[in-house]
Amino acid sequence: MNVRYRVELSQTERAELTALLRGGKRAARKLKRAQILLAADAGASDDEIAISVGVGGSTVYRTKQRFVLGNLEAALSEQPRPGAGRKLSGKEEALLVATACSKPPQGRARWTLDLLAGELVRLTAHDDISRETVRRRLAENDLKPWRKDMWCIPQIDGEYVARMEDVLDLYAEPPDPAGPVICFDESPTQLIGEVRQPIPATPGKLERYDCEYKRNGTANLFIFLDVHRPWRKVKVTDSRTALDFAACMRDLADLHFPTAERIRVVLDNLSTHSAGALYQAFPADQARRMLRRLEFHYVPKHASWLNMVEIEIGVLRSQCLDRRIDSRNQLASEIAAWERQRNAAGARIKWMFTTAKARAKMGRAYPQIKES
């Protein structure tokens, strides 16, 4: 038995090591050192510890040595490891970052690790630079030049602000059964069928399904969401034309809210979302009757995030549609079941963004009034 470094733990140290092993995520090497110290404290030999913990004898020896000559923290912690120096100097790393942020070479859509490594060899005195060196230096600077984000930069002018504050004020109003606020939008979805029957899950095995699938066309979903009460309605259709929109507005006025004096509808700027769609679908007297009770409120262009129903569409897709559904009938049945369950559960969207917060956070983007 190696008696040169004898481990004798105090009650506090023993309790700390026991707690370390009981729970929480820790590095495997640190847990093994804790096991070594506890076993050594119990009187086990180095060979017995090495076998039971699954380490080499030198690891047992060094752990005990660091504890005796230092303390518990020194025994558990990693010692600095020698390694090769950084291949790129500070100036060369700055050159790499600048190159990754520049336009790629002619004929290439984007920078790759190989292209960047070759460019650095051309621009510096290095004979060779590995892809891994380039990858690590880019990761340190949170750069991924082979990726791009597409997004729309809205122009925040007076019209944008007016529509935004109009919608936000609607959301902030107290509930009014005589004047409900309904968010409305549509979302296409694909009908995907299986080519081969999936294999159900069993204990120890995941459900398996074939990567090949059959496309059975598309369907459209019209989604209604009441801002002030836990109610949503999803209508499945084959298309989303102006006539389909008009039919949804008729359902809203005559079927879902027949006693409301006025129905405030929050919409995006799709060309079919207009009062004229009702005149295309119904006789003038019927269209006029419905429009007397319908009040359209449009979100700003490129600001669909202001339409609360977009959140509900995300919930619908994650909870119900994140799978293969092969027919319109099955789609309608599954969505109807989801809709009933969510309405019965009283699920609502808690909207936190208000006009006051918009002015505080976006005040600098608001149009500035020029003093005469």
pLDDT digits (tens, 9 = 90+) for 226-278: 999 999 999 999 999 999 999 999 999 999 999 999 999 999 999 999 999 99
Task: Look at domain 158-360 and name its CATH class.
Answer: alpha beta
Q: Is the pLDDT of residue 102 over 50?
A: yes
Q: Which two tokens stand for residue 190?
A: 């694909």
Task: State pTM to two decimals.
Answer: 0.65
* pLDDT-above-70 percentage for the chain: 97
**Axis-axis angle for helices 90-100, 113-123 (nearest 10):** 130
Q: Cα separation of 149 and 288, whole Å?
A: 45
Instruction: Quote the pLDDT of residue 156.
Output: 83
Q: Is the pLDDT of residue 1 over 50?
A: no
Q: Give which of 13, 145, 129 is closest to 70, Cα–Cα.
A: 13
pLDDT in tens, 143-189: 888 787 766 667 788 899 999 999 999 999 999 999 999 999 999 99
pLDDT in tens, 117-153: 999 999 998 899 999 999 998 998 888 887 877 666 6
Band of the pLDDT at 372, cuts 50, 70, 90? low
Strands 232-237 vs 213-226: parallel, antiparallel or unpaired: antiparallel
Instruction: Quote the pLDDT of residue 85.
Output: 74
Order the strands of the 263-267 sheet from edge to edge.
Answer: 232-237, 213-226, 181-194, 263-267, 294-298
CA distances from 177 to 129, 168, 259, 265, 266 (A): 69, 19, 9, 14, 16
Domain boundaries, the chain: 11-76, 90-140, 158-360
Q: Which residue has the tokens 């009702």?
A: 278
Q: Cα separation of 308 and 17, whole Å?
A: 51
Instruction: Quote the pLDDT of residue 121.
Output: 92
Q: Cα separation of 7 and 41, whole Å?
A: 5
Backbone angles phi, psi at 12, to 5 degrees: -65, -45
Instruction: Quote the pLDDT of residue 2.
Output: 46
Contact 160, 169 (CB under 8 A): no
Band of the pLDDT at 205, cuts 50, 70, 90? confident
Instruction: Quote the pLDDT of residue 5.
Output: 83
